[in-house]
Amino acid sequence: MSYDELIEEALEARKMAYTPYSKFKVGAALLTKDGKVYRGCNIENSSYTPTNCAERTAIFKAVSEGDYNFEAMAIVGGFEDQKELGLCAPCGVCRQVIREFCSDDFKIILLNGQTDGKNTYDVYKLSEILPLSFGPEDMKIKPRK
Ligand code: THU
């Protein structure tokens, strides 16, 4: 699957966002190494703290189905009334959750513009957006297969 297609999956995922409080809708599409896509959206809560980000929803869906081999994740986000989406980078908590299951070269594809109906994006490695990180191997835990 191309990164363009993965961005489209994230845009579809965003449509399911439950955001009555912030009105900020995020979509994520997690690509496994065997080509499966798990979609995630943010799910808010009246008590605020239990809110789950789109990226974590996608990861937790995959892990709860026994899938652990991830290649890339596309992330898109913006306010519900926004005409063209700009950059929406993953929060620190989501970066750490991604770190639990993904290697340094896992790719994060961030939509950064939608000029004239065309999506543009940037591609980052996990190690670029979460340098000097703490992960399972620091706790002497081997990555799951
Ligand atoms: N949000 C995400 O879903 N992912 C991020 O990485 C950043 C923030 C959500 C959480 C909340 O529902 C809304 O965006 C505003 O913070």
Model confidence pLDDT, tens digit, residues 94-121: 999 999 999 999 999 999 999 998 999 9
Could you give all domains of the chain from N- to C-terminal order, each with its CATH number?
3-139 (3.40.140.10)
CB 107 within 8 A of CB 115: no
Q: Which of 55, 80, 84, 100 is catalytic?
A: 55
Q: pLDDT tier at 143 (50, 70, 90 boundaries)?
A: confident
**Backbone angles phi and psi of 91, in degrees to 5:** -70, 170
Mention every residue, 6+ apart, whose C-beta is less than 8 A from residue 97.
55, 56, 59
The three-state secondary structure class of 76 is strand
Question: Ligand 1 pocket, 26 CB below 6 A?
Answer: yes
Residue among 14, 16, 42, 93 whose CB has most ligand 1 atoms within 8 A, to mutate: 42
Model confidence pLDDT, tens digit, residues 30-72: 999 999 999 999 999 999 999 999 999 999 999 999 999 999 9
